[in-house]
Structure 1
Amino acid sequence: MANTTLTTDNRAIKTTVIIKQAMAISGVFFVGFLILHAYGNLKVFLGQTNYNEYALHLRTFLMPILPYEGLLWILRVVLIALILVHIISALVLWHRASAARGSRYMMKKSLATAYAARTVRWGGIILLLFIIFHLAQFTLKFAKIGDAAAYDSHEVMLSASGAVVTDEAMSAMTVTEGNPYAMMFTTFSNWWMVLIYAIAVGALCLHISHGVWSALQTMGWLRRNTQGTIQVISGLVGLLVLVMFLAPPVAILAGLVPAPVMAV
């Protein structure tokens, strides 16, 4: 009977470790994606042409190996899969932690991590809701904030390699493109939208800071002599993402970014 209980406990521990690793790996991918996404947003400081060309380049990247928007759809599918892995892992761990909460060890541990755990859980809910809204606005375009004309699309002719052409005879395909610069500008010209964005990004950065710390712990890098360094690294990663994401909307609201030129 004791051996059976021991075997069951070992399996539970191994399963928990695997779930934590899955959560850590998916989290690392998210952090990498978010840093690249925030870096792309900073191109708004280069002006409308540069920003919109960057957005178009993402849709034509690796053409003609991939179709138009091929890379973006691959990333979307991968990110959705990782989000599901991350959420399911978090729910399973949350359930297991709740079930084991009666033990003396877990009570002691919960006192040390209660604030971080609540931050991650509520922050995760805020982030999920904001991601849905963000996709509804900038990808699906049915949640329009500000000037509706900023969300209008126009036809662009592309060569087989994805380059913009002006001669119809050279065109391999005609696609419909929007004006990402105008959408960002009209959105963050509203102070209340900047405030909502700041709250979401703040929750994101708290989530990232704790997530980086937790991921490094899961990977076995958290020791007594490295704990201080890892806490600094986790905080700096969160701060970096916070500054990168908030810089464009704050600059737009402050009038430091020129207004877009709307297509006629």
Structure 2
Amino acid sequence: MAREPATTRSTRPALRLFWDSTIGKKAVMAVTGLLFVVFLLAHMAGNLKIFFGAGTFDHYAGWLRTIGEPVLPHAWFLWIQRAVLILALGLHVVAAVQLSARDRKARPVRYAHRPRPRASFATHTMRWGGATLAVFIVWHILDLTAGVVSQDFVADRPFHTVVADFQVWWVNLVYLVALLMLGLHINHGFWSAAQTLGLESASRGRAIKVAGTVLAVVITGGFMIVPIAVMTGWVG
């Protein structure tokens, strides 16, 4: 295949050149992944307010819609946040798919005398676990945000909606499985992001892996405790 002339490459915008490069796509995945971790920690902390009762939880949900007022109109902060997260998710998924396709294209031939090395458990988890999470995010929005598939959605009573939802065993199962996938994704993804951004080194490698594992356990456990508490009657 003929090489692309240097003059053509140089006329491309720098942002496009960055996106087209492998390291650029990995950097986008790393930055968006860390953005999701920050969001998940804040979201988890808010969810745990459900243990303080319906009044506190509903008040917290209402307060989220007032962030930014009077500079921003009512609930605009949430919509801006959602737009940023959707854009970040789109970039994250597209970069992941393109990198996976690029990896397969680079190794198109199976060796006759030597089997192709098997992908690690972490690599498999990042691929099919990521696909599972993408489907779950759509479900979660339709369930507890839009109320389309919710068991008993009441817009101004989030405590009631969450409790009604998690009293159904199969809804709990969907959430718990997705959260386990999330934990595995964070555990490996945090280390991968640190490596991509140049933060990983021989001296910090173990600390970064431990930090990723702790983050994964805290976020997964923090989210899982809510459906488990509702299912066991601790919250309700």
Partners of 2:166 and 2:230 within 8 A in 1: yes
Q: 1:12 to 1:241 in 2, by over 3 A?
A: closer
Counterpart AA for 2:28? A
Q: For residue 170 of structure 1, what is the aligned residue in structure 2?
A: none
Deviation (angstroms), 1:20:
0.7
Q: Structure 2: which 5+ residue stretches go unaligned?
A: 10-16
Match of 2:29 among 19, 23, 37: 23
Counterpart AA for 1:203? M
TM-score, length of structure 1 as denominator length = 0.77
Q: For residue 14 of structure 2, what is the aligned residue in structure 1?
A: none
Q: State how many pairs are aligned.
A: 223
Q: Structure 1: which 5+ residue stretches go unaligned?
A: 154-177, 260-264
Q: 1:44 to 1:91 in 2, by over 3 A?
A: same
Pairing 1:120–2:98 present: no
Counterpart CA distance in 2 for 1:210 and 1:110 is: 19
Q: 1:142 to 1:12 in 2, by over 3 A?
A: closer
Match of 2:75 among 69, 81, 103: 69
Q: For residue 53 of structure 2, what is the aligned residue in structure 1?
A: 47
Local SS of the residue matching 2:21: helix
Q: For residue 88 of structure 1, what is the aligned residue in structure 2?
A: 94
Counterpart CA distance in 1 for 2:57 and 2:143 is: 18
Q: For residue 34 of structure 1, what is the aligned residue in structure 2?
A: 40
Counterpart AA for 1:188? F
Q: 1:22 to 1:13 in 2, by over 3 A?
A: closer
Q: 1:142 to 1:22 in 2, by over 3 A?
A: same
Larger Rg: 1
Deviation (angstroms), 1:196:
1.5
Task: Write out per-residue CA displacement over residues 202-245 of structure 1, whole angstroms, 9 at most, x where no aligned residue.
Answer: 00111111110110010112233332222211111111101110
Pairing 1:143–2:149 present: yes
Pairing 1:180–2:158 present: yes
TM-score, length of structure 2 as denominator length = 0.86
Deviation (angstroms), 1:34:
0.8
Deviation (angstroms), 1:14:
8.0
Fraction of identical pairs, as percent: 34
Counterpart CA distance in 2 for 1:93 and 1:191 is: 37
- Runs of at least 4 residues off by over 3 Å: 11-14, 107-111
Q: 1:62 to 1:12 in 2, by over 3 A?
A: closer
Counterpart AA for 1:225? S
Q: 1:44 to 1:12 in 2, by over 3 A?
A: closer
Counterpart CA distance in 1 for 2:18 and 2:107 is: 15
Task: Write out per-residue CA displacement over residues 145-177 of structure 1, whole angstroms, 9 at most, x where no aligned residue.
Answer: 2xx3xx234xxxxxxxxxxxxxxxxxxxxxxxx
